[in-house]
A and B are shown apart, each in its own frame.
Chain A
């Protein structure tokens, strides 16, 4: 098996659009599948992905997203985001990419550490019980950096 110098990947997820959440999840899962350690720090809007009540209703953005190849005004029409989101979710299901809640379980079982940002949790007035059971802890930025303090560790902001 080829050896990689990457030993650990730390992801900071700051957004809650479906494509960003899945980017972080797929990269973290992919790291574990290669024998690389992985952790995700959920901050600001990224926290939506670990809130029990919100995680299954994340959307993909149709406005302000040039890759959607549709006029901005059209993307803003009622139902457009829901339609684009449904299409994306259907395609993901076909590729065996799990929905957000199941994906979080998978990540946790795979040994991915999941952290919530203390400042953002306070800012959005969230409680521990609002967040998924698989969450490892609510920590501050300093504690997260401390986890990066080793050779072969990379940080990625999404």
Chain B
């Protein structure tokens, strides 16, 4: 489906995940974050970059991966993206929702 985010029309899933990463930019990320009640700071951007990097390498995203990443610890991750951290963080990063259970 189409959605207007930050004055740009983007293609996304019903849940709001971008389907074309080429349409992602930082303004769109900020706007999606705002919809989720999150104001993006430096630590958020570090996580977003990490997730995008992992996604590019086609590596599965898991909470254990976050724990081992060295980018952020799990407690802070939950604080930065409250209420479903990996789901929200991937949505803001413009990459697909993780399929795994862990």
Asked if chains A and B come from one complex, the reply is: yes
Q: Which residues of chain A have a CB within 8 Å of any CB of chain B?
A: 1-2, 26, 29-30, 32-35, 95-98, 102, 105-106, 109-111
Among A1, A29, A106, contact of B84 (Cβ-Cβ < 8 Å)? A1
Q: Which residues of chain B have a CB within 8 Å of any CB of chain A?
A: 15-16, 36, 60, 62-65, 67, 73-75, 78, 82-88, 91, 100-102
Take A1-B36, A96-B62 as given contacts and tell me if A109 and B87 are in contact as well, using a CB distance cutoff of 8 Å: no
Verify B83–A33 contact, CB threshold 8 A.
no
Closest chain-A Cβ to B16's Cβ sits at a distance in Å of: 7
Verify B84–A34 contact, CB threshold 8 A.
yes
Among B64, B85, B101, contact of A30 (Cβ-Cβ < 8 Å)? B101
* B81, closest chain A residue (CB): A35
Give Cα A111 to B84, complex, Å: 12
Which chain A positions have C-beta within 8 A of B91?
Answer: 1
Which chain A positions have C-beta within 8 A of B82?
Answer: 35
* A95, closest chain B residue (CB): B102
* B36, closest chain A residue (CB): A1
4 smallest CB-CB distances across A and B, nearest first, come from A35-B83, A109-B74, A35-B84, A96-B62
Take A109-B73, A109-B75, A111-B78 as given contacts and tell me if A33 and B36 are in contact as well, using a CB distance cutoff of 8 Å: no
Verify A34–B87 contact, CB threshold 8 A.
yes
User: Can you list 25 residue pairs at the A/B interface with Cβ under 8 Å?
Assistant: A1-B16, A1-B36, A1-B87, A1-B88, A2-B15, A26-B101, A26-B102, A29-B102, A33-B84, A33-B87, A35-B82, A35-B83, A35-B84, A96-B60, A96-B64, A96-B65, A96-B102, A97-B64, A102-B64, A106-B64, A106-B74, A109-B73, A109-B78, A110-B74, A110-B75
* A98, closest chain B residue (CB): B64
Which chain B positions have C-beta within 8 A of A33?
Answer: 63, 84-87
Take A96-B65, A106-B67 as given contacts and tell me if A32 and B78 are in contact as well, using a CB distance cutoff of 8 Å: yes
Give Cα A32 to B74, complex, Å: 12
Not counting A35-B87, A105-B67, A110-B75, a sample of 6 additional A-B residue pairs whose C-beta atoms are within 8 angstroms of each other reads A1-B83, A1-B84, A1-B88, A96-B60, A96-B64, A96-B102
